[in-house]
Amino acid sequence: MAVVSSSKPILSHRRAASAEVALTDLGIDAKRPETLPFVDEDATAGSETELHAAVIGSRSDVDLPITIEESNYFANAARRAEAGDTPRRTLTRLEDWLDNARDRVWDDSWIRTPLRVLSPNARQVL
């Protein structure tokens, strides 16, 4: 792997000026944050990325285990296990995983926060 070292600025004055012109053409003034496209009422802060989130919380407060328990898959697995159409261990393993989540860490999930605990500004944005 080659490493490039330079004392030159990353953006030349000309390129920096053209970036400033482009922002100005879009109506964005770097000295006035309210002109940025991702403030105030944009809950995503302009982010178009998907972040890998992990939530630490109880099974009853986190979206992933709640969604699994309320899913058709879970209901069907319970019904099939009850009827003897599928091994009970399939449902038991899922229930064990839900009951014994390591350190109450849920990957790829969200926390469910009651609206009443949010600030007035957060409620307005939502």
Give yes or no: residues 122 and 93 share one domain.
Answer: yes
Q: What is the pLDDT along the chain (126 residues), one digit of tens a residue?
A: 444 444 555 455 565 567 778 888 888 887 887 777 666 666 666 666 666 678 888 888 888 899 999 999 999 999 999 999 989 998 899 899 888 877 788 888 877 788 898 888 888 877
- Shared domain for 40 and 80, answered yes or no, is no
76 lies in the same domain as 125: yes
4 is a domain residue: no
User: Do 38 and 92 have their domain in common?
Assistant: no
Question: C-alpha dihedral over 103, 104, 108, 110, to 10 degrees?
Answer: -140
Residues 52 and 106: their CA atoms lie apart, in Å, by 11
Q: Which domain holds residue 80?
A: 56-126
Q: Is the pTM above the cut of 0.85?
A: no
Terminal-to-terminal C-alpha distance of the chain: 46
Residue 44 sits in the same domain as residue 106: no
Distances (CA, A) of 108 to 42, 53, 90: 22, 5, 22
At 18-35, the pLDDT tens digits run 777 888 888 888 788 777
